Amino acid sequence: MTAYQLALKVHEVDPDLIVEFGKKLGDADGARRDSLARYLANQPSRRIKKYGSHFRVEDAFPSNEVARQRQPPR
């Protein structure tokens, strides 16, 4: 899931959050610097830098089978 996709989902669940954060939704290519998508993308790295090992982050990767299923048809 990209930051833009995450921003879309967050907006779907809580549309007032954009107003609360003073952000725009953004665009798929990330060109908008003040977007919710960019904000969401930057938060993990900012918090890791600030809190170090005290900020717990879990990585998740799709399995090879899931990745193969998502390949566009040839």
Integer Cα distance of 3 and 38 in angstroms: 7
pLDDT at 6: 85
Strand ranges inside 9-61, DSSP E: none
- Count CB neighbours of 39 within 10 A: 19
pLDDT at 67: 63
pLDDT at 25: 81
- Positions in the chain short of pLDDT 50: none
